[in-house]
């Protein structure tokens, strides 16, 4: 009987010991899971920050091209209060626009339609003639030098450049080249600048031009001018002579119509429909390393 009692006591001790071990193992497993969860949260947070930066860059590029296309940027409210205030401001404007449109429609219905075949023919011929005149000669591209450069105060991907294009005073140009060049590489850089785009604000800074670049999804690099080129020289295509526009009209989308035919050829020459970017008496403009890609 004593022997049996001893066995029972020993068994109870063993069971208690095993329970303690199980509790320790459970605690270790829970701690390990917490560590894994913390690492996963850290990884997801890092990915989210990276995606946020990429989204910010896309928004900046979209805003710039919207302005160049004559589209008025829309302010997106960040808070519920701001959204309510914006709605209060926009509703009267929308109602006024609707009333004006209704009034115009009523005036049109009240007028008798008259046949004007000659006028219609002239109207049809005018757009065709205008389309034929839309070519690279409309662009005022000049050799310029970046004499000062700094990071944009409100955008990590943008530089604000002070550019000498030989006009007697410098221009401010905002460029999204932070990922392509360092500040030191941008300083004193000579390139081709398009200076008759309509000035547009980029994150609060007015940009008065655009530096012309060879571009692909993987890489962007500024175009190079021939040896002997001087600040202020005009870059043109000899097959398309003519004076440039004082300022490109973004509503007519002339820049978009021309830009789609700006390319770097297989030998590295910057061109419009195959005709080289040229500085009279000095030579052709080129891309340093990129080939068969767009220019923008």
- Supply the CATH number for residue 260's domain: 2.40.50.140
Looking at the structure, tell me whether residues 61 and 148 fall in a common domain.
Answer: no
Please choose, from the candidates 135, 137, 140, the residue with its C-alpha nearest in 3D space to the C-alpha of residue 232. Answer: 140
Inside any domain, residue 86: no
Looking at the structure, tell me whether residues 63 and 149 fall in a common domain.
Answer: no
For residue 185, what pLDDT is reported?
Answer: 98
CA distance 237 to 16: 92
Residue appearing with tokens 């910057």: 270
Chunked into runs of 10 residues, the chain (296 residues) has average pLDDT values of: 63 74 78 76 79 73 61 54 59 67 64 52 53 88 98 96 98 97 98 97 96 96 97 97 94 94 98 97 97 97
The Cβ of residue 294 has, within 10 Å, a number of other Cβ atoms equal to 15
For residue 32, what pLDDT is reported?
Answer: 73
**Domain membership of residue 231 as a residue range:** 136-295
Inside any domain, residue 92: no
Q: What angle do CA 103, 105, 106 make, to 5 degrees?
A: 65
Inside any domain, residue 112: no
Looking at the structure, tell me whether residues 161 and 278 fall in a common domain.
Answer: yes
**Given 16, 48, 68, which residue is the final one in a domain?**
68
How many Cα atoms occupy the beta-carbon half-sphere of 272 within 13 Å? 23
Inside any domain, residue 75: no
Looking at the structure, tell me whether residues 163 and 270 fall in a common domain.
Answer: yes
Residue 162: its H or E element: strand 159-164
Record the pTM. Answer: 0.62
Inside any domain, residue 177: yes
Inside any domain, residue 121: no
**Given 68, 85, 104, which residue is the final one in a domain?**
68
Inside any domain, residue 282: yes
User: What is the total count of domains within the chain?
Assistant: 2
**Given 68, 84, 103, which residue is the final one in a domain?**
68
Looking at the structure, tell me whether residues 49 and 196 fall in a common domain.
Answer: no
| Stated length of the chain | 296
For residue 17, what pLDDT is reported?
Answer: 76
Please choose, from the candidates 134, 141, 132, 133, the residue with its C-alpha nearest in 3D space to the C-alpha of residue 276. Answer: 141
Looking at the structure, tell me whether residues 263 and 177 fall in a common domain.
Answer: yes
Looking at the structure, tell me whether residues 176 and 289 fall in a common domain.
Answer: yes
Looking at the structure, tell me whether residues 27 and 170 fall in a common domain.
Answer: no
Looking at the structure, tell me whether residues 44 and 171 fall in a common domain.
Answer: no
Inside any domain, residue 269: yes
Looking at the structure, tell me whether residues 181 and 40 fall in a common domain.
Answer: no
CA distance 247 to 142: 14
CA distance 37 to 16: 32
For residue 35, what pLDDT is reported?
Answer: 74
Looking at the structure, tell me whether residues 179 and 284 fall in a common domain.
Answer: yes
């Amino acid at each position: 009987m004593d022997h049996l009692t001893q066995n029972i006591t020993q068994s109870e001790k063993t069971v208690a010991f095993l329970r303690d071990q199980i509790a320790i193992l459970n605690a270790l497993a829970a701690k390990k899971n917490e560590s894994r969860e913390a690492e996963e949260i850290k990884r997801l947070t890092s990915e989210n920050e990276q995606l946020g930066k990429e989204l910010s860059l896309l928004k900046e590029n979209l805003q710039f091209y919207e302005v160049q296309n004559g589209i008025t940027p829309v302010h997106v409210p960040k808070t519920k209060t701001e959204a309510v205030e914006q709605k209060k401001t926009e509703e009267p404007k929308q109602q006024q626009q609707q009333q004006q449109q209704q009034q115009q429609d009523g005036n049109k219905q009240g007028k008798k339609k008259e046949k004007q075949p000659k006028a219609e023919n002239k109207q049809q011929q005018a757009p065709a003639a205008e389309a034929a005149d839309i070519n690279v000669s409309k662009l005022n591209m000049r050799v310029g030098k970046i004499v000062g450069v700094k990071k944009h105060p409100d955008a990590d991907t943008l530089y604000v450049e002070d550019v000498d294009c030989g006009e007697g005073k410098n221009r401010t140009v905002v460029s999204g080249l932070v990922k392509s060049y360092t500040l030191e590489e941008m300083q004193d850089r000579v390139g081709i600048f398009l200076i008759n785009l309509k000035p547009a604000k980029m994150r609060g800074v007015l940009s008065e031009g655009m530096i012309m670049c060879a571009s692909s999804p993987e890489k962007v690099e500024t175009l190079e001018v021939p040896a002997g080129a001087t600040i202020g020289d005009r870059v043109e295509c000899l097959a398309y002579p003519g004076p440039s526009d004082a300022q490109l009209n973004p509503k007519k989308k002339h820049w978009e119509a021309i830009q789609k035919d700006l390319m770097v050829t297989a030998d590295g020459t910057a061109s419009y429909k195959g005709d080289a970017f040229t500085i009279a008496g000095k030579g052709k403009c080129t891309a340093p390393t990129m080939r068969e890609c767009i220019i923008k």
